[in-house]
Amino acid sequence: MVRNEQANKSLGSSSTLFPNKPQPRDWQESYIILPLSCLDAGPIRAPKMADICAELDALEIENFEHKFFIPLTKLEQLFTRERIVALLQEHDIEFYVLTEATNAVLKNGLRLFATLASIRGINSITRFLEADYFFGSHFDSKLPLSESALLTIVGDAERCLQFSRKQWRFLAPILREDQSHRVLDDRTIMPFLSSTPIGKGGFSNVFKVRVDASHHRIPSTQAEVSPFLVALKAL
């Protein structure tokens, strides 16, 4: 709501008749009326960067078990060097560790950085830099982290619990042809988009599964098709 007030110059002697009366002005004034809730919320601030948590949620892909994961390729697209620097600055990371933290994230730390962003704990990145057994800053190679391991780094039990739960959606494995046998944690979210039974026998069931295109490194003419089809034998 705006009120415009034009000075009235016809009462030229008003200052003589009423010496204490505020004098009219010969310019327009604008008044902005705000609801009281704006005052209760504190001072008006410039809008912040878009909520990174919401952006990460929008990248989730649902697998055949109705669990959600975020491919590494999506993180690479989201977290450019410029975006990482901006987020670190927004979370008050000191300038003298800014370059080291940015390089560590880009080198091998996108999953850890994304997990911290998911729990609004980006400022904790410096604690991981300081941790002795993260020498070389190969953050993602240490994931998943247990709550006890996190407690020695982060120190806050509630934040450790949040990290422990959120990290799994970033840890869907990438399948490679030259990999040996792996034992996966029960909480691992597999990048299989669908599963169809195609046979059984020998104490096992066989399924045809569709693998998200960004979660395999298997050379094949079919690999160019998204998603990639493989056989899964469940014992």
pLDDT for 12-36, tens place per residue? 444 444 455 555 545 444 444 444 4
Q: In the structure, what pLDDT confidence band is assigned to residue 50 with cuts at 50, 70 and 90?
A: low
Q: What is the pLDDT of residues 117-152, one digit of tens each?
A: 999 999 999 999 988 655 666 899 999 999 999 999
Q: In the structure, what pLDDT confidence band is assigned to residue 99 with cuts at 50, 70 and 90?
A: very high
Percentage, residues of the chain above pLDDT 70:
71
Q: Please compute, for residue 177, the number of CA atoms within 13 A of its CA located in the half-sphere on the CB side.
A: 5
> How many CB atoms neighbour CB 71 within 10 A?
19
Looking at residue 85, its pLDDT comes to 96
| Separation CA 192–CA 209 (nearest Å) | 6
Percentage, residues of the chain above pLDDT 90:
50
With 0-12 CB in 10 A as exposed, 13-18 as middle and 19+ as buried, what is 105? buried
Q: What is the mean pLDDT of residues 66-74?
A: 95
Looking at residue 209, its pLDDT comes to 87
Looking at residue 207, its pLDDT comes to 85
**SS3 sequence of 141-188:** HHCCCCHHHHHHHCCCHHHHHHHHHHHHHHCCCCEECCCCCCCCCCCC
